[in-house]
Structure 1
Amino acid sequence: MGDYSKALEFYEKAHKIFENALPPNHPHLAISYGNIGQVYNDMGDYSKALEFNEKAHQIFENALPPNHPHLAFPYNWFGKIYRSMKDYSKALDNFEKCLSIRRKALLDNHPYLALTYSNIGDVHQLMGNYERALAFHPTALNIQENVQCNPLECATTYINLGETYREMKDYSTALTFYQKGLEIREKKLPKNHPDLAVVYHNMAKLYLSTRKYSMAMKNIQQAVEIAQEKLPSTHPHLLEYRETFEKLRKKI
């Protein structure tokens, strides 16, 4: 629901119970550390996110056999954190480790594999490797559109594809994918969810590039309003949205 402080409060309560009831190397504790780390990542506190994810990773490494599918989780979490930190080479390295484990442990059409392909495609896009990105995203979509997946995961792949096409200046294709992703997120998420702000910001940048300034302004205002309500004042996303708003304001 995008209410990260509430999520953190409950995860921490759960974690205290786990700590009292379980041995210190129990995999449930690792999952608990990972959950807390992911909330810190969503809140933009990347050093805290890394700290908790490292604890999760150490437990999994010590408690599980080398081919266990749960070993992929910390690499996936590290990938997301490093991507948020804009350390794309480390993000890619971790997502590729995650993919290697999941390919061995899961069926070829498992939703977790689709997520990993989408994440790798997204990092390639962020690194400017657009052809590589376009090799991974359709592989993800092929699974997500044909197997029962969380629709929000499919929405993320559509939005990642939209970003790739926007960077390639194929604005009409980009807009088509944004709209597909946005339609799913608007149906499934509260109106003030930070994941909606991400798409509004993407669309604002697209409309800015195509000089449709009124459409751009409408979208960036929505993104800023959500981020101001739901994210910490120092969150990198909020700062980025304000920067885009200022760029647009100077154009009008």
Structure 2
Amino acid sequence: MSAQSEINKDSLSDVIKLNNEDIETVKALNILSEYYLYQNIDSSVFFGKQALELSKKISYKKGIAESYRSIGRTNTISGHYKESLDCFYKALKINEALNDSLSIGKNYSSIGIVHYYQGDIEKALEFCEKTVEIYKTNDYTKGLARVYNNIGLFYSDLDKLDTAEIYFSKTIEIAKKIHDLKVETSALGNIARNLMIKNDYQKAIEIFLKIPGKARKINDKTILAITYANIAVAYLNLAEKKINKNAYFDSSLKYNAIALKNAEQLNSNSLKAYAYNGLTGTYKAMHDYKNAFKSLEKYQIINDSIFNQKKTEAIANIEAKYENEKKQLVIENLQKEKQTDLKLIQKKNTIILIVIIGFLIVLVLSLFLYKLYRAKKQSLKLLDEKNKDILIHKEEIAAQRDKISEIAFELKKTNRTKNKLFSIIAHDLKNPFQGIIGFSEMIKEDAEKQNLNKIKKFAEYIFNVSNQTYKLLDNLL
């Protein structure tokens, strides 16, 4: 355990001591549950349940899902596979509702591990391969290293050792880059396990013996228990090939005992079963049938608590229930999508109708405006023509006005001349008429006196004056 890890654990404990009922406290509880997962199962369960209770209280769905997964992982290590799957599927259902793809991937991986422990490697591979795709999409490198390690382990059990080693190499490469000593150590143990399958027990033991020091640094009792149990198996297999068997038997018993101690400290049924199974094999090889029987009996009790028909059926029911619920959810989602599609179609049709009506209104309005425009244009054209006519008439009137003014001026001038002429005529006529009047009066008087000579002279004078006046008038006309 590094100093930094201790500080982190202490800081998380401080968060919990604040006794706040909030999301940060839920997160701290779940992190502590994971922290104790490979050290103290009971503590891990305690913090996981505390996180679940608080998440439900504050209605924090993501926290509820993560808490179920925390509890599920403790049940997996304890060998309570039915309970672990029940938790994982509950978490998965919430993850799917929240569309939390990364958490879905984590639960797939956890479900895959349970199937592996139950011996269904093909199903384990199926779930973990789904996890790989999700982790790649989310660029979750740390998780990718872990799932590669698990897939390598599955291929080892399928006797596809070359494929397994490829995955272990990928795991170690990523783990070194991200400084994940836990995953690197686990992958190293799996490589040693591969060597055992190849019957290279000595080389396997050399690698296994490098692991405890690394495991203690990260305080991982699960890796310690598995490693010691595997060392015991390796020594047992070496003993069968050696003449001096007792030394190897003793080493096998020694490491099995250490493995069992770590498994008991963890309270892990699966690891205890693994250690007791190793002890049974060693005692049997030593012909110590009494102790072999005792170990076998303990192994069977623990193993039966892990695997029995009822639990197998219960697990199958959990998965069937999840699949049915998932199918039902898919159907409901499809129905919702269908209803949504219908609403969208109706909405679309309504929009189209509105657009068409709007278009028609715009079209009618445009035609009306166009007609108004044409009428206005025609009116403007007529008005323009009228204006032109008016201008022409105005110009003609102006010309006529000028002409009239000119004529008026000439008339005035002529009138003045006429007046002057008439004045002259009047003057010229005045004297003759005065003469005629005067002589007529004299003729009247002489006629009364019968003075004919004078009358004759007056008559001649009147004749001459009248003749001159007539000529004057004739000239004027």
| TM-score, structure 1 as length reference | 0.89
Indicate whether 1:52 and 2:87 are aligned: yes
Residues 76-225 of structure 1: pairs in structure 2 closer than 5 A: 76-106=109-139, 110-145=141-176, 147-189=177-219, 193-211=221-239, 212-225=248-261
Partner of 2:271: 237
User: Per-residue deviation at 1:130?
Assistant: 1.2
User: Per-residue deviation at 1:177?
Assistant: 2.7
SS across alignment from 1:244: helix
8 Å Cα contact 1:141/1:154 also seen in 2: yes
Larger Cα-atom Rg: 2
Counterpart-to-counterpart distance in 2, 1:77 and 1:149: 23
1:196 maps to a residue whose letter is: L
> C-alpha offsets along residues 28-72 of structure 1, whole Å, 9 cap, x if unaligned?
22111111100111111000000000001111111116xx33321
Partner of 1:4: 41
| Superposed structure 1 runs of 4+ greater than 6 Å apart | none
Counterpart-to-counterpart distance in 2, 1:204 and 1:130: 21
Between 238-247 and 204-213, report the one with greater CA deviation: 238-247
> C-alpha offsets along residues 190-234 of structure 1, whole Å, 9 cap, x if unaligned?
7xx3431111000000111111222212101111233244326xx
Partner of 1:74: 107
How much identity, in percent, do the aligned residues show?
A: 20
8 Å Cα contact 1:114/1:144 also seen in 2: yes
Counterpart-to-counterpart distance in 2, 1:99 and 1:149: 20
Superposed CA RMSD: 1.8
2:41 maps to a residue whose letter is: Y
Counterpart-to-counterpart distance in 2, 1:181 and 1:225: 17
SS across alignment from 1:169: coil
> C-alpha offsets along residues 67-105 of structure 1, whole Å, 9 cap, x if unaligned?
x33321111111121122222111111111000111222
Question: Structure 2 regions of 5+ residues with no counterpart?
Answer: 1-35, 240-247, 287-477
